Amino acid sequence: MPIDNDYFKNRQKENKGSNNSSNNGGGDFQPPFEAPQFFKNFGKQSGIVYGIIIIIILLVMAKPFVIIESGQVGIKVTTGKYETEPLQPGFHLYIPVIQKVITVDTKVRLINYKSIEEMSGYDSGIKINPAINILDARGLPVSIELTVQYKLLPHGAPTTIATWGLSWEDKIVNPVVRNIVRNVVGGFKAEELPMRRNEIAVLIEDGIRAEIESLEGRPVSIESVQLREIVLPSKIKDQIEKVQVANQESERVKYEVLRAKQEAQKKAALAQGEADKNRIEAQGRADAVHIEAKAQAKANDLVSRSLTVKLLELEQIKVQGKFNDALRENKDAKIFLTPGGSTPNIWVDTKDKSRDSSINR
């Protein structure tokens, strides 16, 4: 497609005409684009702009502010002097070069005293120290493993850091823990330690707490002390195991004796119960016979008292009347008189010959 050059030809003519006019002293020429006034004056104000930019860059690089998070406090240091009032969590400004802010942790921290072969892992709030080696009351080596929980108190943090430095844990907590543990455990024999574990744990915690919290200003608070392990020498372990086996056997024998004794007591109780039962039954029967005999005797006594002379005569008359009736029916009847008159008369009917003959004999 052929290029249309009319536009360029016209522009060339206009440019030539403009050049001729300018050469002839014409002043009506206007440029097609005019820069803003700001850029026209930039050359005059460039020093101020560059200065502001440099100041902003320096402020950003110097970072004259700090953000303190929860569980921390800030300590402002001005020309090397620690301010006594701690900075609480939040946003704080300071003057670079002249001032600086040290951030310290006030959350609960741990020191684990444990065997070296078990030492592993890392946490900014957890320190791992070797187990505490001690000689017992007889000079035998004992190793103590424990965990100490503590924290830096916020209100006194500037004074604590100014006095003890940033390594305050190794200067306040660690020496006291080792000293108290050695003093407490060193007063016991190795074989006593497992049996008196709870007592020893209380003595260690109370001793550590009392000594650390009695420091001026009370810089540190002890949250807890946990006795985790008492590592004894091998021969002491063997001795304790033998004693435990002997104690278990002794307890077993005591149990068997107690059980046999209880079984014998049970049998004796059953026998005693059976004997008591028989005795009670016999006593009951005897009491019944006695009561019956007593009642019979009383009845006899009543009967004997009721037998008067007249009553006996009456009874004799009744019997005599029966005899008379019998004689009227049988004139051969025989009458016998009993001596003493206790029985009025006895008669026998002699109509029975065999009976009569036996009487005669």
Spans of all domains in the chain: 38-105, 109-232, 236-306, 309-360
Whether residue 159 contacts residue 217, with contact meaning beta carbons closer than 8 Å, is answered with yes
Q: Tell me, what's the pLDDT at 80?
A: 87
How many CB atoms within 10 Å of residue 33? 4
- pLDDT category at 279 given cuts 50, 70, 90 is confident
Measure the CA–CA gap between 72 and 90, rounded to whole angstroms: 10
Taking residues 307-316, report their average pLDDT: 71
Q: Tell me, what's the pLDDT at 68?
A: 92
Which of the pair, 3 or 279, is modelled with greater confidence? 279
Measure the CA–CA gap between 181 and 174, rounded to whole angstroms: 11
For the chain, state the CA radius of gyration. Answer: 65
Q: Tell me, what's the pLDDT at 31?
A: 52
For residue 144, give the nearest of 41, 37, 246, 229 by alpha carbon: 229
Q: Is the predicted pLDDT of residue 333 greater than 80, yes or no?
A: no
Which of the pair, 332 or 226, is modelled with greater confidence? 226
Q: Tell me, what's the pLDDT at 307?
A: 66
DSSP string, 119-160: ----BTTEEEEEPEEEE-TTS-EEEEEEEEEEEE-GGGHHHH
- Average pLDDT of the residues of the chain: 78
Q: Tell me, what's the pLDDT at 3?
A: 47
pLDDT tens digits for 63-113? 788 899 999 999 999 988 999 899 999 998 888 888 899 999 999 999 999
Measure the CA–CA gap between 287 and 278, rounded to whole angstroms: 14
Q: Tell me, what's the pLDDT at 359?
A: 43
- pLDDT category at 303 given cuts 50, 70, 90 is confident
The CATH code of domain 109-232 reads 3.30.479.30
Q: Is the predicted pLDDT of residue 332 greater than 80, yes or no?
A: no
Measure the CA–CA gap between 164 and 176, rounded to whole angstroms: 14
pLDDT tens digits for 110-148? 999 988 655 555 567 888 999 999 988 888 889 999 999
At 336 the three-state DSSP class reads strand
